[in-house]
Chains A and B, each alone.
Chain A
């Protein structure tokens, strides 16, 4: 199926993503930041769908928005933040940080502007959506078998670490 109104949806979704990102780093209240981050994550999931990557979009929603963000919210509620809202929000070196980040942005844009020609006129190869999941499954259990196992091990270690860190008494 061919997407409709691609530019419109692209600009809408990326607008949401960037707006959400801005709100994440500017809100005083961490819950508002989390809400903004959820908007960003969902918008990025939409962008994945536009890039014919439905499985990644699904993973993004189920793991990020449904899992990680709930974890974040849980922790925000656990550590009472009423005090931090009234405190100074930015650290003392914020001008330097901002400057460095602007430099990074300039670097990115410069590279992209210079390499613009690489992307122009390139025919976008057809990538079928219909068997995307099957293909990814075959790849995960084929080429990337080892990486997949390592990733599961990483998750196991992370679970153990988180439990040990967060539990009062073991």
Chain B
């Protein structure tokens, strides 16, 4: 108990807060512990806030409440055995995690997934991107006080999860991909389901926008809130929609195409101001672009095998590899070192949430408590991925 208290005071005293030129009312500065049990921190994030009234003077993120040692576990599992674990990092976008890991190992093994597998991978990943953005939208709107979008987005996300369930039996932590391709052939009617879903969800996205985009309160709450400049964003390594909203046109699907993204025609939305509203708009457009990709992919699924020739026991040659993909939240990278055995020597994950979370401090400087909640929401973090 005492130690925890000391921890807190140390953490607070180590904060490098900007002090005003004259120290006013020092005793009026509040130290508030937001989280880990707080409804708006999206899990178990703990943010120590130093407040002057309601103005935020500084923040300190305390993470690790959900640390499970995923990277360490990898060292004691074979490459195949570790595959399901990655789903547990960003459990909202489990398919993307799996894609990144499988492709990294494939790169290490120098095998290529067959085209049919790639098409299905793209479809599932983009579906998952929409699901992730829907979940983000619902919780973000809830943080800002609009209850209703949450239920709308969850209603529609359900359809995606149904497709996942039909495809691989799991809804959330899907474990959909295998190293070298897919384990399962698509079920009968997969294409029809996906096409139906695209037709179903298009008007629903309009519906979310109807509730929020032109809403005066929504605009007031999000415009010029949590602004981050392109320079700062790049310096901090921020990626994904957060970076693109600041005006940097950087999307790994275009910049260094993986799977077969180069075959599809889609746009990368960018914002201008780098504020919460732009991030919202960027994600809304991304959902529509994902639908475009899915439409193209589902129309062109080739026939063929779904697995490349991969040895039964995966034993990559000695070497290391870094492979990154564009997860819904940003650049998700896997750095794998192989010592030639069946188990990786070291796996290091570059999670987008963890890196993006660093931007919280500069985004909320001088803002109000309510904005902290909005900014945490707009960063779209998943604590499972931050803590791993």
Binding site for B on A (CB under 8 A): 78, 80, 168
Contact = CB atoms under 8 A, between A and B. Distances in A.
Interface residues of B, number: 4
Interface in B1-50: 24-25, 27-28
Contacts of A168: 24-25
Nearest to A77: B28
B27 A80 contact: yes
Contacts of A80: 27-28
A85 B379 CA distance: 44
Contacts, number: 5
B28 A78 contact: yes
A78 B27 CA distance: 10
Interface of B: 24-25, 27-28
B21 to A, nearest CB: 10
A66 to B, nearest CB: 23
A163 B50 CA distance: 25
B379 to A, nearest CB: 31
Contacts of A78: 28
A86 to B, nearest CB: 15
B343 to A, nearest CB: 58
Contacts of B24: 168
A78 B25 CA distance: 10
Nearest to B27: A80
A87 to B, nearest CB: 15
A78 B24 CA distance: 13
A116 B25 CA distance: 54
A80 B28 CA distance: 7
Nearest to B20: A168
Nearest to A82: B27
A87 B95 CA distance: 63
Nearest to B53: A78
A88 B27 CA distance: 21
5 contacts: A78-B28, A80-B27, A80-B28, A168-B24, A168-B25
A85 B24 CA distance: 23
Interchain residue pairs A-B with the least CB separation, the first 5: A168-B24, A80-B27, A78-B28, A80-B28, A168-B25
A80 B30 CA distance: 11
Nearest to B25: A168
A20 B25 CA distance: 32
Contacts of B27: 80
Nearest to B24: A168
A80 B27 CA distance: 7
A166 B27 CA distance: 16
A19 B25 CA distance: 35
A163 to B, nearest CB: 16
A78 B52 CA distance: 11
B12 to A, nearest CB: 17
B18 to A, nearest CB: 15
B53 to A, nearest CB: 9
B30 to A, nearest CB: 10
A30 to B, nearest CB: 16
A75 B28 CA distance: 12
A7 to B, nearest CB: 49
A83 B37 CA distance: 31
A142 B24 CA distance: 48
